[in-house]
Amino acid sequence: MPSIMLFEPEIPPNTGNLIRLCANTGSALHLIEPLGFSLSEKAVRRAGLDYHALTHVHRHANLEQARTAVAGRMLAFSTRGTTRYDRIEYRPDDVLLFGPETRGLPDEVLESLPASQRLYLPMVPGSRSLNLANAAAVAFFEAWRQLNFEGAQ
């Protein structure tokens, strides 16, 4: 099952929404510190409702620690990506990496991956970016669809 990884997330409701998404899909959520909030914040709890206990949430001190702890191919999502998200073949061990809401993934993170692993979601010209939780859900469901919704009813 692919997992979702957030690099230095800043907005509690986005993380709460992704906790809920991961609980309902059987995926793991990886959070790379520093977080822009506490996981006990009301906004995270409200968005995640009672799903937090049903989700495997892992915290990592930095990206290097996360890469060591999580096996699988890292796929970075960015408006500066070079490969459209639906033009790759997803694998069960893929890690879908998303950057902070206000600035996206740093150049050094993107450049550390091959162009084929720097993905983007299409948008109309002049658009800045999609909401983090929405973008992660779109990407995750494409990966899961390609894997025949493994584990779903």
**Residues comprising the binding site?**
99, 121, 129
Q: Kindly report the CA angle at 14 between 39 and 126, in degrees rounded to 5? A: 150
Per the annotation, binding residues for S-adenosyl-L-methionine are 99, 121, 129
Question: How far apart, in whole angstroms, are the C-alpha atoms of residue 122 and residue 97?
Answer: 17
Phi, psi of 6 (to 5 degrees): -110, 120
Query: Greatest CA separation found in the chain?
Result: 40
Q: Which helix (H) or strand (E) holds 120?
A: strand 118-120
